[in-house]
Amino acid sequence: MEELNLVDEIAELILSKKGYDIKVLDLRKLASFADDFIICSADSDTQVKAISDEIDKSLRKQGIKCYHKEGTDSLNWVLLDYFDIVVHVFKKESREFYNLEKLWGDAPVREINDVPESIS
């Protein structure tokens, strides 16, 4: 699957579980460990789990393996590493505290507020 399509698909999965404030940070010129970060917010532990589980389940069905997963115990910040794409599912307060957008402030950002046109 082409990477841009995978980013959009992950965004759709996040939206399907009512995740919000989705941002895609393009790290290609800033880091060698990933091309994109996808960052989103959720309002509760249950929602963080639902979003991360939906992403993992749906991509696994397509044969796309999550190579590293963190945060599934505390559910304040779940990280799903798909090598080129790293997904960060934050509980709102944790996202404000860690502020990855500021940390990676030089990265071009694409905001996703609705189902991407290429998916719908």
pLDDT averaged over consecutive 10-residue blocks of the chain (120 residues)? 74 96 91 91 96 97 95 94 95 92 84 61
Structure tokens, 98: 């860690």
pLDDT at res. 30: 87
Q: Which amino acid is at 50?
A: A
Report pTM. Answer: 0.87
Domain spans in the chain, listed from the N-terminal domain onward: 3-112
Architecture of the domain made up of 3-112: 2-Layer Sandwich (3.30)
Angle between helices 3-16 and 45-61 in degrees, nearest 10: 140
Q: Which residues pair with 70 in a beta bridge?
A: 79
DSSP single-letter state for residue 65: -
DSSP letters for 8-41: HHHHHHHHHTT-EEEEEEE-TTT-SS-SEEEEEE
The whole-angstrom separation of Cα 63 and Cα 59 is: 6
pLDDT at res. 1: 41
Helices then strands, each counted (H, E), the chain? 4, 6
